[in-house]
Structure formats: structure tokens, C-alpha cells
Structure 1
Amino acid sequence: MKRSLACAVAAATVLLSAPATAHADEGALTSVSLPFLWPRAELDDVAADASGGVWVGGAQGAYCVAWVDHCALFSNGNPVLRRWEGSSWREYPLNGWTGQGQIGAITTSGGETWIAGGSIGSSGYHDYLARFDGTAFQRVDRPSEAHLNMISTGPAGTWVAQVTGAGDPAPRLQKRTGSTWTGYALPFAIVSDLQARSATDAWAVGGSLTASGTTPAVAHYDGTSWTSVTPPPVPAGSNDELVKVVPVGANDVWALTWKYLTHWNGTGWTLIPLPTGIARGGDLAVAANGTVWVAPANYGTSTPYLYSAGSWRAATLPAGLNLYDITAVPGTSTIWGVAHKGTFSDPVALKNT
């Protein structure tokens, strides 16, 4: 989930269907010391790789010197990218980055790590795209001049979703093919997330435009083409949209809308209303032990929640934090998150074990 210094969202975590053998503190998140960051810093995204490393990205050093009703002097700050390597954080070069701004999206899987970023206040749109070569991030040309709003890498390849307008011939969804991009038609307008379980089993979610706003939309990739899948049965006329998806098995797919946690069993979707403490769903992660975590996209200090055996219960994190992005470390029950302490000048990294 992306946000900016000007417009940020807070989040909490939710636990779903935890097995009876889960350790007692699975829902307890504690802080992890961060490296030195310049004043007015934030962390916007977190992603865990298969090697046990955890990436965080954001910005530092933004400032505004106010004069009457505007900034007489203003800086977007500089991008931040760090990787947790078990006991300390490491910084890698961002080759090809120019100007100010933030790293707003990180995706990593199977030895591939990609990042995207841009100017702060761009509503989650990105114009910098880069791939990690093991020692540094190397800039990669975007498919077109259109900004990006989604990047994903995994067993089915690396994908981006472009922000295109009505009548724009550029396909919204593009897959990296060698050193070029291949466009794919997708039967809906908004692509929020794309995740794959294998090269022939990938899911994309988002929304279709309606007279009243948006409605959830889903598509499945079989290694060759995308096919529409019946979306979760949200109430008719509901302004809702799918924001995240996690395929666990062939007939075991979790997805999140603004208002519901949903599960696909191969034939249909089950809707689970979010608890009253989550005004709007924002992020989703599934741990190796089957625990499903949900982070809300709402403002204000948030309390994490857990869902188990058909009921919600509150999880815990240090007081006063707004948690807005989560990730599961592959093959483990460990969850990481990034948060801030009520302002955008004190970022926090958290983990549950």
C-alpha cells in the first residue's frame, strides 16, 4: 500500500484462522531498531524476500518553510531504501534515480527484487522503476510514458500496471519479457495487485468502473492469457474494490476489498466483513502457518486485529503507532510492518517474532 508525506494512511493487522498450536504472542508486534534517517522521514512499503531479508522504502529530509499559505521553500526529500540482513540494515545504490521523492513500492520473490518510486504527493504513481542486480538497483525503462501504480514479481514473471486514460492505446498491464515489455489485455480498468503461485497460476485484482464508483474485479492468468473470474459477491450498488490478493493454493485464494476479507475455494467466494475497527481494508499477508493478516487503510492511531475461529480479536503493538503496511517472511510465521508515531517524522519497523 502506498502513501505520501502529504496524504498517508494508517493501518493495523488482523489474524485469520490461526491454528490451535500458534504461539501465544503471534499477534504481538514489537519494534526493530532502524538506521539513522534524516528528519522528516517516512517508510512507505515493506517486503520480505526468500533469503530472510526484509526491505523497507520511503523518503527522508522533506521540508516546507511556510510563508502565509504556501511553502516559500520546499523539498520532497530523498529516497530511502534499506534491507534488514538479520542484525543490521544495509543500503544499496539507486542507479538512474534523479531528483527528489520516495520509494513507494517494493516487490521481491525468487531472487528478483524490483522497486518503484516518484515524487511525494503523486497519489501512489511511480515514474522510477529499477531491478536489483545483487549489488545495486539498475533503472529499467517503463513500458511507456504512463506512470505506474502497481509492480509485482513472482513465479509468473515481473508485471507492472500503467495509469492510462480513456482512449489510450497502451495496455494497462505489462509483463517483462527479456529486456522488453509485453502488453496484456485485462477485462477491468483498475489493477491494484497481482500475485502468482506458479508460472501458470497468477491472480490480478482491482475494480471495474460503475455509475456509483467501482466494483470488485478479478482475473486469472494460466501462463498464456488472462480470463475473468466471478468477483466476490459484495452487495449490489456497493462502492467497493479489491486491493490485495494472496494465492495460497489452486483452490485457496485470499483477497481483500475495502470492506471485506474474502476467500476463494475454487468455486466461489466467502465474504467476511471487516471488524468495526477497520474502516477500510488496505493490505494483506498470509503467513506459512495459515494466519492471514489484514492492515486497514484509515487515518488515526489503529489497533491491530486478529481473526480466528469465526471471530475478531485485538492484536497488540506499541501504543500510539499507525501501522500501514505488512509483509510475511516466506516459509515462516513472521510478519513485518512499517508504521509511524502519529506524525510523519518518526517511522517505525515492527515484527511479531
Structure 2
Amino acid sequence: MFLSLPRAATALAVGLATVVATAVSPAAAHTRSWRDISPAESNGTVLFDVESAGGATWAVGRHSDTTTRTFTPVAMRWTGTGWQAPPQPADEGHLDDLAIGAPDEVWAVGTRFETAGESDGEQARALLQHWNGTAWSEVALPFPEGADDTSLSAVDVDARGSVWAFGGYADAAGQYVPALFRGDAHGGGAWTRLPANTGLNWVSQLEAGPGGVVHAIGDGISRFDGTSWTKQSLPPALDGALFDGIEMRTTNDVWAVGHIRDENLWRRPVVVRYDGRAWRTVRTPAETGQLYDITFDGSGRPVIVGETQDPAVNPAGNYVLTTGPQGLLTRTEDPPGAGFLYGAATDAAGRVWTVGGASGAEGGVSPAAYAGIRR
């Protein structure tokens, strides 16, 4: 999940071709009840992802304060009554993505900062960490010898318990090389480096499905069949779209969300859906919004979260799309206290969780962490 900072994309005019107008099921035309469960005393903190599985719910992000440290990683566990933040293995850095295989098999990726030397300042390194039910520990990945500027941006756990992590490094010539790793779910297992030539310039999230099939999203969508990657064909009007969230409901029902630059709206929300044959556009409101994550509630309806920086759309900054009375995606929900929203998940009880920053952002920076839940 990323903050609301401009990224390179082609500005396109309003108007999307190949629109699926009835791709989702109708829902009641009313705002559902959200409850603010934001962590206490979280000024300077923002949460980028939330996941819930096996009765465990975690959220990750970063914290900044007035010390000389740039950021400190944050990982919070929901106890049933509040958030608990166990000690982190890295003193400086941030966590961007999260995956849960079981209550004692939780994984998070991001960046740690290390002091490179008196004259070189801080150096960023890939950070992969594992929760074993008691404590967090850092896990080393088999980057090639001599790899520099290592990074990790995405992690997922598949149904078999395999862990997938995506990142990259700089080779001896200083060229960026993508990297994909797979390991077993039991912390000390061997890791394998797999082909990572997705055809994308960057990857924001992975979705590991049945049979070793993995989808990667970023400046496009790519599919890994266990051997090689195939960049997916999207509707031509989405050339330049950027994606931050993906959800695979079945092999032939995959959703991805993001945004596209728009000459009139600045950023327009984008939702696409794969039906087993092709990726098609799902109609979204023609208003300023950027989408970061998608989940499905206990009734099977999509809940898509993000942000808007247009006060006429929502002065609080949060942007939530769900299905309206005609079965189209619409903005009818406004979680109290929420600002920009970066992550969403559904637990076994069908409750939807979302995290991000609290309302009241200045200059695109939220004042504190936000977490919300709805049935």
C-alpha cells in the first residue's frame, strides 16, 4: 500500500471502453454501520495493510516521531478488545504488506534502514519478518551474492502454506533486477528464487491462488503459472492504469483495483474483473478517487477502499465503493473518523476491516492511525 503521492502515468481523457455495468450483485441502498477501533496514542502512525485469517487479525505500517529516526516499523495484533504492538526486529524502517497463514504463521514485508557509514548515511534493505505466535523475527532471503539495494514490496501465503515474497535488488552493474521467492510456511524452511520477469516496472501486491498460480499487480497485471509470467491484456482505455489491490475469489473470478490519471479528475478510480476469458472494466463513479484495496463481505459484496483528495467528494478523505441498488459500484459508506484508507480484509465472521490514516490530513499526511470494522 502506498501513500497518496503522484506516480508516473499517462494522463488520459474521461471515458472507458468495454464497461461491465452489471458485474456485481445488488445491495441495499443504505450506509452500513462502521465502528472506529483505531489504536490509542497512535499520533504519527499510518497503517498500510490489514489481514484476518484463522481468528488472527493484524495490521502493519510505520510510525514517525521527533527523534532522529526516519520511521519505525509497526505491526499490531487485534486482541478482541484493542490493538497490541509486539516488539519489532528492526529499529528503523516500515512495513507495507502482510499475509496470514495461521495465528502462528504471520508474515510482513517492507524496508529496514541501516547505517552504512559515517559518510554514507542510512541504507535501505529488504525486510521480511515472521510471527511464530510469540514474537517477531527477521528472515533472510537468498538474494544473489553481491546484491545491493534489496527491497520487498509484496507477500502472500497460499492455501498449501507456501509463502511468496516479491522484491528486487541492484546487480553489480547497478541495474534493477526483480526477485520472487517461495518458502514453506514454517519459518525455518528453505527458500527458492523463482522467475520474476513479470513484464511490470513495479509490483505492489501478490495474490497466490491454487496450483501455484500467482498474480502480480502494479503498473499492470501479470500472471505466473508456476514456470513463467504472462502480462495480462487489459482494455485499451486502461493503458497507464496503476493497481494496488487484488482479490481472487475463484480461478475465474479475479478483481483488481487502482486508479488512472485523468485530465479532468486528476485521478479516477479503476476496477477490473477477470471472468475466466478476459479482463473487463467494472464501472466506477466519474469522480476523483484512488483505490488501494478490495475485499468481499460476508454476503459476497465487494468493499473497495481508498482515498479522495477532492473535498467536494468527501472532505474527510476516505473513499469507499460498494454495490448500490442497481448493482453498480457507488460511494455510500463513510467510516467515522477515517481519512485515507489503504487496506481492507474480511474475517471468518464476515466482518470487514479497514485501516489507514485518521481524518484531518494536511499535505497528504494523516495525523494518526485509523482502523475501522463493520458487520
TM bracket (short chain): 0.7 to 0.9
| 1:102 to 2:94 alignment | yes
Give 1:335 shift.
1.4
1:262 aligned partner: 272
Give 1:315 shift.
1.2
Relative to structure 1, the CA distance from residue 239 to residue 253 in structure 2 (aligned partners, 3 Å threshold; closer, same or farther) is same
1:73-152 alignment runs, 5 A limit: 74-95=68-89, 97=90, 99-111=91-103, 112-118=105-111, 127-144=126-143, 145=148, 146-152=150-156
1:44-55 alignment runs, 5 A limit: 44-55=47-58
The SS at the match of 2:80 is coil
Give deviations 1:189-245, integer Å, cap 9, x for gaps: 3222211232434322233xxxxxxxx232143xx3234153221327x32233322
Structure 2 gaps of 5+ residues are 8-22, 114-123, 261-269, 311-316
| 1:173 to 2:180 alignment | yes
1:1-353 alignment runs, 5 A limit: 1-3=1-3, 17-18=24-25, 20=27, 25-26=31-32, 28-37=33-42, 40-63=43-66, 74-95=68-89, 97=90, 99-111=91-103, 112-118=105-111, 127-144=126-143, 145=148, 146-155=150-159, 157-164=162-169, 168=175, 170-176=177-183, 178-189=189-200, 190-207=202-219, 216-221=220-225, 224-228=226-230, 230-235=232-237, 238-259=239-260, 260-299=270-309, 301-308=317-324, 309-318=327-336, 321-338=338-355, 339-343=357-361, 344-353=366-375
Give 1:126 shift.
6.0
**1: distance between equivalents of 2:63 and 2:81?**
22
Structure 1 gaps of 5+ residues are 10-15, 64-72, 208-215
The SS at the match of 1:235 is helix
% identical aligned pairs: 18
**1: distance between equivalents of 2:70 and 2:163?**
29
Relative to structure 1, the CA distance from residue 104 to residue 251 in structure 2 (aligned partners, 3 Å threshold; closer, same or farther) is closer
Is the CA contact 1:159–1:176 (under 8 Å) kept in the aligned structure 2?
yes
**2: distance between equivalents of 1:130 and 1:352?**
29
**1: distance between equivalents of 2:259 and 2:282?**
12
Is the CA contact 1:52–1:86 (under 8 Å) kept in the aligned structure 2?
no
**1: distance between equivalents of 2:38 and 2:167?**
35
Give 4+ residue runs of structure 1 displaced > 6 Å after superposition.
Answer: none
Relative to structure 1, the CA distance from residue 243 to residue 266 in structure 2 (aligned partners, 3 Å threshold; closer, same or farther) is same
Give deviations 1:49-83, integer Å, cap 9, x for gaps: 323332122333512xxxxxxxxx74325332220
2:263 aligned partner: none
Tell me which of the two structures has the higher relative contact order, counting C-alpha pairs closer than 8 angstroms and 6 or more residues apart: 1
**1: distance between equivalents of 2:329 and 2:191?**
47
Relative to structure 1, the CA distance from residue 277 to residue 218 in structure 2 (aligned partners, 3 Å threshold; closer, same or farther) is same
